Structures are given as structure tokens and as C-alpha cells.
Chain A
């Protein structure tokens, strides 16, 4: 005889208990819907702020823009940090990816031209990343990232050609003199079977010329920082040769400020921009659109409290359920159910109850956000960033809350002594 899984029975019992105890279910469901609504609002606003933040620079640069906050690790970035657009598993991130796809799709086997400009830094061995901005090309040094090539010492060839960059890497400066050249490898990009492919073997080399070296102590000695000189000038409209962009991984704002000050002191004729300056450009852009960058602390705290209350509702509901259903549990145990099955049934019910509630909240909220922001091209439209990813986050948070809140009642339920309960009925 074919076997039906014991776990299916557990979920089935949980489901039946949920739908046949309507009053209890509805009350808990209501609480979870509210929690889902608030978490959806916070997550949507968070994603929306990412888009709003990037708007002024998007307009400045044209096309998509990548903003990587200082100190964001590659792992975190690959997992989809809000506001970051990236190509999974391909190392450095591309910008204007849609344009790239369009170009590649229209002309298969086309090799993309060399970059128009770079204002970028690279991954370091510690996994730290510095802000990247680029346009119309994919930065692809090699499969291992630029850091490893530097470490092997193969990437530098003196040359008079190439763009001007400034190398801010004490560790590697001895190998690259001022006037030296840094070699970058760009892959041939083509479309094969509907997928965009990157062929490094047939790639194209590009050379950057180091025009400056600045020796200062970076938080991580293996860090590499390159600043294409002309590109930032082009971007900002500042005269070439008189501007400088300090771009490196900073986790300590005081240190960052000190470094920027250090540059300003030594380069009095140069306008020095740091990551905080970039941030201010973004904020001023937001303000010009009538938006304020509010602190998320209130909303996050409020949502956290909502979830705490929701978890307490679940715990209370499941505890009452465990008390009310002592006889049912005793019967199940008498029939031969294991205490573990009883525990899992209660946990499954807690998960089902909260998941349906919070996802309903997510669905309703997303629908109303969609209705109120659809068709808008202004910053408010950006704010309505509904993503399935947010739904997944809500589901995960809810399951966690349900498991935490339901564990004690589930354990309590499984401790029922069938003989004692059934004897006194």
C-alpha cells in the first residue's frame, strides 16, 4: 500500500482546525493582516526610497544608476541590497543593463565598445566594495575581480595611452608608478540561445593611466581604489584637472571626513568630493522634488511593535487553542499520534494562520499602492516600488514570528496526558 506522508496529515489537521474554528481564526487573521499591511508599507517605502534617491543622479548620468552605499559587501550586494541593480554572479555590476540587452539583442555577437567613462572602484579581497557609477558598459575586469589581478601583479604595464586615473592603494602603489598603466579586460558580449554571454577569452583590453598616487592609510590594506579623472569631471561639469573624487570603502564616517579633509588641505585648487557629498547631491535632488528623507526608525520601530503584538496574538491564540483542544489532543495521542506530531500540528496551524493573514495584508496593500501610484512618473511613482521580494521578506518574517510565538503553546499541547484528560470528561 502506498504511504501518505505523516507531515501531510500534520498540515491537513492544522488546516482543518484553522478553517473550522472560524472565530478564533478570524481574530488572529485580522491581527496578522494589520502586521502584513505595515510591513508592506515599510518595505515598499524602503525600496521606493532607493529609487527616489537615485533619481537626481539618474537624470544626471542618464539611464540606470547604481548606488552602492559605503561598506556594502559583495555578498550583501549579490543578495539584492535595496537600490542596487546588478547582474547576479558576474562580479562587478552593470548599469544601464536594459540598454545593454537591447544592443546585444539587436546585433548578436556584437562586441560592445570600450567604456565611455568610468567612475568606479573595484572589489577588494576583503569583499568590501566602493561606490560604483558607470554608464553604457559592463565593468568586467576578470572573473575574479580586479583585486586578484593586482595581487598577481600582471595587470600593470606602463603606457602613455589610456584614461587618467588616480590610484589610492598604498599596497599596490609601488608596482604602478605615476604615468603607469592599468590593464582592464572587457569581455566580448553576445547573445546565445536567448542568454547574454560574456567571453573573456575574446575580450578587449582597456588601459587606464595612473596620474596620481596618494598614500594614506585605508581601513583595509588590500583595498584598491581607482578614480577615473576625466569621467567625474564630465559627469559633474567640473573642469578636468581641477577636480577630484575620493572614492573608497569607508565604514567610519569620521574617518571618511578626515580623509576628504586631508585631500582638501593638500589640493587647494581642486574640488574634492567624498561619498557624503554624493549623498548630499542626492538629498538636494530629493528636496527639489519636494521629498524629504525621513528617518525610517519610526516606521521600523512601529512595524516591529506591530509584529510583536501580532506574535503575542498568535501565542495567545495558540495557547487558548491548546487549552481548549486538550481533549482533541488527548484523543489524537490515544489513537497513537506522537507528541512530536501534535507539536508540529500546532506549529503548522500558527504558521498557516499568520502566513495567510500577513500575505493578505501584503496583497491588499500592494494593490492599493499600485492603484495610487500607477502611471505616475514623478518621485511619488518611484515610491510605490512593489516587489515580490518584499512579499518573500514578509513571508519569512511571518513564519519566523509564528514559529517563535507558536513554539511554547505547541510544546504545552504535546504535554497533555491522555489518561488524565479523557478520564475526567
Chain B
């Protein structure tokens, strides 16, 4: 039988930083396989390394040692993968949702959603059509022409989710997606993420410290001091 191809796979991944000549290890030799189409929650206390691990899995950062594979292809390596290669893979395969929404401040809602498609060099008219369709699904089509500063937190996060999935990536990485909204909006956002991802067969990796958010996951990975402390199904 051939080896299964994981959506994301970490092999002995570590990430450390130097601060005042002191080595601080944020992620310590983590190995993790994430099957395609599943929702994984990374949980742990503040400083446990969950956001750093998410960045490594998403190619936003380069591991200090170990390797990350995306659909079986080398994606993260201390030396072998360039920033341009990681950027290209990110653009094609990964969508990000952040706690602070992180919409581009000088672009309107619809332009933010169009952005990943524009990077993929699709026709602007087609990008707009797709973006408007998704904003409609998210219930914020009427705010399409507004700048992020003119939107509420919940609206911004819905726009951010639309942006994360508009280019149809296989993997969604969400860092505390409900962390900056109230519980009502949090529930709506989680419904959107899980609903859309289940419907479209996406792989989702969530970072959260909220047990009710983690509950939606197929697997919960507990992190402590940069290491995997346990996995529950």
C-alpha cells in the first residue's frame, strides 16, 4: 500500500528565536499529519507555540529545523525552499483567516476578496464576479464597496473568510478566528468556516483557546511548551 498523501505534514519541525543571546524555542520537534478534508484544532495556553506552528504549517515562516510538506511537496525547510516558492504555494493552496481580520486597509471589501484572484492573474471582471458571489454568501454583499475601517468586526471577519476561500485553496488556516468578535458573531463565523469547508471538502487548521470552537474539529491537538502534549479525536 502506498503512503497516504497528507494535506499538511510536519516532520520534526522546530522554530527557535534568539532574544538577548538567549535561545527561545517556540515549537519543539513537532511531527503532525493532517488528512485532507478534516478540521484540526490546535489548542493550548498562551505561549504554547500554536500560532507559531500554524505559521510554519502555512509557510508564513521558515522552520529552524525539520520540514513541512503540502500535498506531499516540500513546503517548509530551513534552506531548501525559497521565499518565492513558499509565496507561490501559499497563493495557490492556502487561505488564511486571522484573529485581527487583517484586511488590506486601502482596499474595499470586494477588492480585498478579489486580491488572491488578482494575484492568480485572473481577469478583473471575473475576480469581481466571484468575490461578489462569495460576499453574498457571507451576507455582506451590501458592504462590498466599504473600506475595512467602515465595517464592524463581524463583517470584517466575514470578508476575511470570503477572501480566504475565494481562490478555492485546499487548506484554510485560521488563527483565533473568533477571538475578536462577540459570541454571537463567533458562532456565525464558525458556522461559516465549518459549513463552507465541509461543503467544499477543505482541510481546516484552527488555532483557538476556546473549547467551544475546538469542539467542531475532527481532531484536537494539544500543545504545551512547543510540543504536542496530546491528540484527541
Contacts and interface: CB of A to CB of B under 8 A. Distances in A.
Question: A and B: partners?
Answer: yes
Nearest to A330: B102
Contact of B90 (A4, A336, A417): A336
Interface residues of B, number: 37
B111 interface: yes
B122 A4 contact: yes
B100 interface: yes
Contacts of A6: 119, 121
B96 interface: yes
A323 interface: no
Interface in B57-81: 58, 60-61
Contacts of B177: none
Contacts of A16: 106-107, 111
Interface string B114-141: 0110110111101100000000000000
Contacts of B22: none
A343 to B, nearest CB: 13
Contacts of A327: 102, 105
Contact of B116 (A4, A336, A422): A336
B55 A17 contact: no
A233 interface: no
Nearest to B111: A16
B123 A335 contact: no
B137 to A, nearest CB: 20
A2 B119 contact: no
Most A C-beta atoms less than 10 A away, residue of B87, B92, B127: B87
B88 interface: yes
B55 A419 contact: yes
A1 B102 contact: no
A17 B123 contact: no
A410 B186 CA distance: 37
A335 B119 contact: yes
A332 B83 CA distance: 14
A338 B91 CA distance: 10
Nearest to A340: B84
A161 B219 CA distance: 109
Contacts of A333: 87
12 contacts: A4-B121, A5-B121, A328-B104, A335-B96, A335-B116, A336-B116, A337-B87, A419-B52, A419-B60, A419-B61, A422-B175, A425-B100
B147 interface: yes
Given A20-B106, A335-B91, 11 more contacts: A4-B118, A4-B127, A9-B118, A327-B105, A334-B96, A336-B88, A337-B119, A338-B87, A339-B87, A418-B61, A425-B98
Interface string B92-112: 100010111011111100010
Q: What 4 A-B pairs are tightest by C-beta distance, nearest first?
A: A336-B91, A419-B61, A419-B55, A3-B121
Contacts of A422: 60, 98, 100, 102, 175
Contacts, number: 88
Contact of A336 (B98, B102, B119): B119
Contact of B83 (A3, A4, A13, A339): A339
B115 A1 contact: no
Contacts of B61: 417-419
A1 B122 contact: yes
Given A3-B121, A336-B116, A331 B106 contact: no
A20 B102 contact: no
Nearest to A14: B106
Interface in B31-61: 51-52, 55, 58, 60-61
Interface of B: 51-52, 55, 58, 60-61, 83-84, 87-88, 90-92, 96, 98-100, 102-107, 111, 115-116, 118-119, 121-124, 126-127, 147, 163, 175
B119 A328 contact: no
A280 interface: no
A330 to B, nearest CB: 8
A288 interface: no
Interface string A314-332: 0000000000010110111
A388 B31 CA distance: 66
A21 interface: yes
Nearest to A16: B106
A418 B60 contact: yes
B49 to A, nearest CB: 11
B121 A328 contact: no
A58 B165 CA distance: 73
Contacts of A266: none
B147 A20 contact: yes
A344 to B, nearest CB: 13
Interface string A9-35: 100010011001100000000000000
Nearest to B55: A419
A336 B60 contact: no
Contacts of B107: 13, 16
